[in-house]
Amino acid sequence: MSDSERRPLPAIDIKGVSKVYSVGGQTVQALREVNLTIKKGEFACLIGASGCGKSTLLRIMAGFETASSGVVNMYGKPIVGPSPERGMVFQDYGLFPWLTVKENIGFGQRQRNLPKAKLNEISAYYTDMVGLTKFADYYPGQLSGGMKQRVAIARVLANDCEVLLMDEPFGALDALTREKLQQDLLEIWARTKVTVVFVTHAVEEAVMLSDRVVVMTAGPGRIEEDIKLALARPRDITAIEFNQVRRDITQYLSSHVSSKVAA
Amino acid sequence: MDTTVELPVKMVKPDIRPYIKSWITPLIVPLLLLLGWHAGVKVSGTQLIPLPKEVGLMLYDFAFGGIYDDAFSETLPLHLWSSVTRVYGGFFAAALVGIPLGLLIGRIKLIRDLLDPTLQLLRPVPVTAWLPLSMIFFGIGPNAAIFLVFLGAFYPIVFNTIFGVKAVDNRLFEAALMLGCSGSSLFRQVVLPAAIPSILNGLRLGHGFAWILIVVGEMTGVPEGLGAVIMDGRMLSRTDLVIAGMTVIGIVGYVSDRMLVALNNRLLKWSPQHHV
């Protein structure tokens, strides 16, 4: 039995990652010495106030940005750039407006020169998974925000992504749509066993969704707390335990913000 | 009971008033202009401007003959064909050069640094100012006119294409990259479709300029063409012929613009806000 089989490689392994930007001649440290390991199949939330570097960290995982120092590995291999294995879901969707729903969902697979029938089959399967079969021939401009985000999720899943990176994906949606999409995301997660790294600034959303909440703080961005959630699923937003956890996390966040203000 | 009976009756007799309205409303101003023209000529008693009716007769004779039977009778198809081939020759040449060049300038920094300053320097020169040089380069004849058309259509096409390429949302590049699309397929699958609204806009503007410049180009010693006809009309004090030529250009320009609009709406069916 090999070593890696006994201790499986983590989906994402971040070691000593720092990120320094240069803005108008001034250097800004966005991340300092971040260490984070995300297991295969885990649903992890990165939470923090704006400016804490959570989106930067996610973009480094995606390969859109490179760390100034440190290592980021996926299953032991260094991340050198964007790749279909790591699918990003943006807050502003990033759909191709000239492609229909099913063409957007099939976009990734189309890059692989599959036979047309196979391509259609895959895109139909994922269009159905996110409940948009009736809208398969619509253009993004004809869809609501919630539907667009469903397309964005289906698009990366259809492309065999193993790690789903989500950057405040439901932040622009109304409360009802957000709740519905959270439930659907959990269902998809349970069904596909995909690893999820989910960036949010909403504590309730983090507690609702994740196995683990990673609290980040700003100036420079670093990980403050790493909380495993033992709450049973499906989670009940009105349960005492749920609210206990929510209160704890809110305190971690606000204590840091108030100490910053006092200083 | 009464209301349930009344409903289907209303449905068999659809209201056609909105349709009539949509046909009549656009015609009101042109008809008023014709009336004003007619009245203006009558009241002032001028001999220099013909009545709309006389221009109508001239147009008929120009197209089909049988009224004046002079040198211009039945010659419309000949002149129209000459002008149309020159306009589209110059226009398509401009599109053929302008779109690829615009794509390259917009996408590749080296080419942009190389060509953009020169283009920016040449752009403010009115295309009509090229006429004397154009006649030296191409001689007196249709080629000088085609060159003017080319130049006039080229600038809006190339600059709108550059703009369209540079304005592609960076988010779409990120989305394409993480889905496994890169290199030349990025160009074909993201840059090109994203720039199409701007390219079409440039084509439409360029097309408008092409029709303006063909008339200028044909006023310089070309025997055939609508611009030549207008020039002849001026020399012979045949104002009815001048206005007939103007009318034909207006109608043909309008019809071919509608064809471009139809192409635009077809290619951009994903984006209703780009529909014209």
Per-residue model confidence as pLDDT tens digits over A43-87 = 999 999 888 899 999 999 999 999 999 999 999 999 999 999 999
Cβ neighbours, 10 Å, residue B49? 16
- Which helix (H) or strand (E) covers residue A88, if one does? strand A86-89
Are A87 and A105 within 8 A, CB to CB? no
Q: Token digits for B89?
A: 């020759």
Whether A210 has a pLDDT exceeding 80, the answer reads: yes
Polymer length of chain A: 263
Closest chain B CA to residue A160: B179
A258 confidence band (pLDDT: 50, 70, 90):
low
Distance in Å, alpha carbon of B99 to nearest chain A alpha carbon: 19
Render pLDDT for A102-136 as a digit per residue (tens, 0 to 9): 999 999 999 998 899 999 999 999 999 999 999 99
Closest chain B CA to residue A108: B179
Phi and psi torsions of A144, nearest 5°: -80, 170
Phi and psi torsions of A71, nearest 5°: -125, 140
Are A30 and A200 within 8 A, CB to CB? no
Contact at CB, A108 and B272, closer than 8 angstroms: no
Question: Is A32 in the B-facing interface, judged by CB distances under 8 Å?
Answer: no
Q: How far apart are CA B267 and CA B271, in angstroms?
A: 9
Are B74 and B64 within 8 A, CB to CB? yes
pLDDT score, position A255: 77
B25 confidence band (pLDDT: 50, 70, 90):
confident
ipTM: 0.91
Distance in Å, alpha carbon of B103 to nearest chain A alpha carbon: 18
What are A86's strand-pairing partners?
A163
pLDDT score, position B6: 47
Q: How far apart are CA B159 and CA A99, in angstroms?
A: 26
pLDDT: is A255 or B50 the higher one?
Answer: B50
pLDDT score, position B5: 45
A262 confidence band (pLDDT: 50, 70, 90):
very low
For B13, the 3-state DSSP assignment is: coil
Distance in Å, alpha carbon of B18 to nearest chain A alpha carbon: 27
Span B29-57, mean pLDDT?
Answer: 94
Whether A261 has a pLDDT exceeding 60, the answer reads: no
> CA-based Rg of chain B, rounded to a whole angstrom?
25
Contact at CB, B271 and A141, closer than 8 angstroms: yes
Contact at CB, B179 and A108, closer than 8 angstroms: yes
Q: Token digits for A246?
A: 């929510």
Of A88, A141, A156, the CB nearest to B270: A141
Contact at CB, A63 and B180, closer than 8 angstroms: no
Whether A89 has a pLDDT exceeding 80, the answer reads: yes
Closest CA to A90 of A169, A24, A11: A169
Mean pLDDT over all residues of chain A?
92
DSSP state of A127: H
Write the DSSP string, A187-199.
Answer: HHHHHH--EEEEE
Span A212-222, mean pLDDT?
Answer: 91
pLDDT score, position A8: 84
B3 confidence band (pLDDT: 50, 70, 90):
very low
* pTM, 2 dp: 0.85
Q: β-strand A69-74 against A195-200: which pairing, if any?
A: unpaired
pLDDT score, position A253: 86
For B176, the 3-state DSSP assignment is: helix
B8 confidence band (pLDDT: 50, 70, 90):
very low
Render pLDDT for A140-171 as a digit per residue (tens, 0 to 9): 999 999 999 999 999 999 999 999 999 999 99
Q: How far apart are CA B189 and CA B177, in angstroms?
A: 11
Distance in Å, alpha carbon of B165 to nearest chain A alpha carbon: 15
